[in-house]
Structure 1
Amino acid sequence: MAGATAAGVDGLAVVDKPMGLTSHDVVARARRALRTRRVGHAGTLDPMATGVLVLGVGRATRLLGHLALTDKAYTATIRLGESTTTDDAQGEVVAVGEVAVDAVELAAAMGALTGTIDQVPSAVSAIKVDGVRAYARVRAGEQVVLAARRVTVSRFELLARTGCDLDVAVGCSSGTYVRALARDLGAALGCGAHLRALRRIRVGPFDLTRALTLEALAEEGAGALRPLPDAVAALFPCRRVGADDARAISHGRRLSPYGLPGTYGVFGPAGEVLALAHDAADGCRSLVVFAGA
């Protein structure tokens, strides 16, 4: 294999997840391809969805919880006239409605679902109810009704219409369910609807332009990864410190404030990435320490 990965390799990879795999399946394949157990993912995708999935390898797994992944963009296909048990194409059709919707009605219904809205997530979701995933409760035969949550849909735009199928573009905040958006659109139009296809084209700053197939990741191995120092420098403001401060923060000690809001990367005199940190009332405090890991 061209990209055999030695122990200790760290970095980020953006994968174009294929249909039919869970996010955990992708992690398992990456572990085999990169010959390490230290692989994690950020921003879960359902098995039927394709597109951007961010992987962290080695010490970069510690980055995943600090990435700004709240803003997401998708392309999707919604089928009007059929409601399913899962609000998507993986469920059974439970209701069929007549589709007699004109362009004006459709635009109004999509407009009403744009902006800050209260959305009830699909019952078949990974949200936990008393410690158990909602989808597991549904599969066990329970009736699950989840509480509405406030989300922001910044874009819900019709790209094309072919019969009962709508190709749409969606921009939304984290926690938004596009299949719930499809369900609610069908309800507003009085005909029912479900999600036929979903592709994530961007999550936070990561998009498809640099996304790798799983085959390319297996072929390139470590060469496919964005090295940890490069990833931190690209994603966060940078603070350079001297040898004394480098030793201090590597041992979890606080530094003097840097004067920047939010999270920033701390780099040593040789350009090595030492930590993610932020300014607090009592000085610069580390959130994640990479040095010596």
Structure 2
Amino acid sequence: MSRRPDADVPPGLLLVDKAGGMTSHDVVARARRVLSVRKVGHAGTLDPMATGLLVLGVGAATRLLGYVGGHDKTYEATIRLGQSTVTDDREGEVLTTSSTAHLGDDAVVAALATQTGPLQQVPSSVSAVKVEGRRSYDRVRAGEAVELAARSVTVHRLDVRDIRRPQPELIDVDVTVACTAGTYIRAIARDAGAALGVGGHLTALRRIASGPFSVERAAPVEEAGAALAAGGGDGFLPLTQAATSVFPTRQVTVEEARALSYGQRIPATGTPGPHAAVDPDGRLVALLEDSGTAARVAVGFPPGGAVAASPT
């Protein structure tokens, strides 16, 4: 199938329910094939093992992804205590095995409670973090020893949903985690296991929310792409709806919309942060940010044209 111009495809966000075994890049590539367009990107990766919500931008909506990716996330996960692995998840070689027979449920809950609030979290060495321009996992696979710097993250909530003992010496814990972007759920499993002295790793991970978007509205990538092509359906948010889901809405007049299309400023919105400027026809005109007594265009969305960013 030949590619069609990106302008022929309505811009918007795809809310994809990613299947296990696929990288985020795989999902983007599949969306490009389904839609026969080039301009597709994603708002934050999911490990191949993970399933759940992956937000894609198509066409002009790719300019929203930098804002969407920084939102808080919510995950459902299963932590296995009693084994540590090289990748801190089930896909890595088992490094240590220790009996958990002496651990009661209260001790498990208490250890996981220490993984809440502001944390200095060290990512897994087998992660996508770049070290001097190269992915950490590439350096590890090349035989290098990699020690990553701790980063500040916040776990807003960690709820223990179930504790099971699949074997006498292992414990599986189902949890729901709400956290800031950049938090590694694998690291929570690793660090809780280390605190208990038995090791831990992640056996399942599913992202169920990212900012205002929920996996309940998501669909497999092929179905989400079909919804975009059809102009509506599960897995697709048109550009204006996508922007107003993320940002406060600023209704602008026809005259203000025209001024914004030329990169001109209009009276300030009066509240901090980006606002979605929407004209009387319901079209997204721009993302606005206040600068003194005026609001300037941070990102413009000309009708049928290329996305423009205004000079600061």
Q: Given the two structures, how large is their TM-score scaled by the length of structure 2?
A: 0.88
1:264 paired residue among 252, 275, 294: 275
Q: Offset at 1:245?
A: 2.5
| Residue in 2 that maps onto 1:184 | 191
1:4-83 correspondence runs (5 A): 7-67=8-68, 69-83=70-84
Structure 1 distance, partners of 2:206, 2:161, is 14
For 1:64 and 1:47, locate their aligned partners in 2 and report how far apart those are by CA, in whole Å.
20
Q: Which runs of 5+ in 1 are unaligned?
A: none
- d(CA) in 2 for partners of 1:180, 1:267: 41
CA displacement at 1:282 relative to structure 2? 5.6
Deviations 1:209-237 (A, max 9, x none): 10111242354342343211222233322
Q: How far, CA to CA, are the matches of 1:278 and 1:218 in structure 2? A: 31
Tell whether the 8 Å contact from 1:33 to 1:221 is kept in structure 2 after alignment: no
Q: Distance in 2 between matches of 1:252 and 1:219?
A: 34
Distance in 1, Cα, partners of 2:160 & 2:250:
44
Residue 161 (structure 1) aligns with:
163
Separation of aligned partners in 1, 2:254 and 2:155: 47
| Structure 2 CA distance for aligned equivalents of residues 79 and 233 of structure 1 | 40
| 1:214 lines up with 2:221 in the alignment | yes
Counterpart secondary structure, 1:54: strand
Partner residue, 1:193: 200
8 Å Cα contact 2:83/2:96 also seen in 1: yes
Aligned partner of residue 37 in structure 1, secondary structure: coil
* Residue of 206, 231, 239 corresponding to 2:242: 231
1: CA distance between counterparts of 2:156 and 2:227? 36
SS of residue in 1 equivalent to 2:267: coil
SS in 2 for 1:20: coil
Q: Distance between the aligned counterparts of 2:210 and 2:283, measured in 1?
A: 27
| Deviation sequence 1:121-140 (CA, Å, 0-9, x none) | 11111111111111111111
Look up the equivalent residue of 2:123 and give its one-letter code. Answer: P
Question: 1:242 and 1:169, CA in 2 relative to 1: closer, same or farther beyond 3 A?
Answer: closer
For the residues of structure 1 that align with 2:111 and 2:134, how far apart are their CA atoms?
34
Q: Which runs of 4+ in 1 moved over 3 A?
A: 218-221
Unpaired stretches in structure 2, ≥5 consecutive residues: 166-170, 307-312
Taking a change above 3 Å as real, the CA distance of residues 219 and 281 of structure 1, as seen in their structure-2 partners, is: closer
**Contact in 1 for aligned 2:218/2:224 (Cα 8 Å):** no
Letter in 1 for 2:179: C
2:130 to 128, 131, 138: 128
Structure 1 range deviating more: 270-279 or 138-147: 270-279
- How many residues in Structure 1 have an aligned counterpart in Structure 2? 291
Deviation at 1:261, TM superposition (A): 1.8
CA contact (8 A) 1:33 1:217 kept: no
Query: Taking structure 1 as reference, are residues 142 and 85 closer, same or farther at Cα in structure 2, changes over 3 Å only?
Result: same
Deviations 1:55-81 (A, max 9, x none): 111111111112274211111111111
SS of 1:151 mapped into structure 2: strand
Are the counterparts in 2 of residues 69 and 205 from structure 1 also a CA contact under 8 Å?
no
Give me the whole-angstrom Cα distance separating, in 2, the residues matched to 1:87 and 1:141.
Answer: 18
Following superposition, the deviation at residue 253 of structure 1 comes to 2.2
**Which of these residues, 161, 171, 176, is aligned with residue 178 of structure 2?**
171
Separation of aligned partners in 1, 2:224 and 2:103: 45
RMSD: 1.9
CA distance in 2 between partners of 1:251 and 1:86 (Å): 51
What is residue 146 of structure 1 aligned with on the other side?
148
TM value normalised by structure 1: 0.93
1:147-204 CA distance string (max 9 Å, x none): 1112111122221122121111111111110001000011001011111110011111
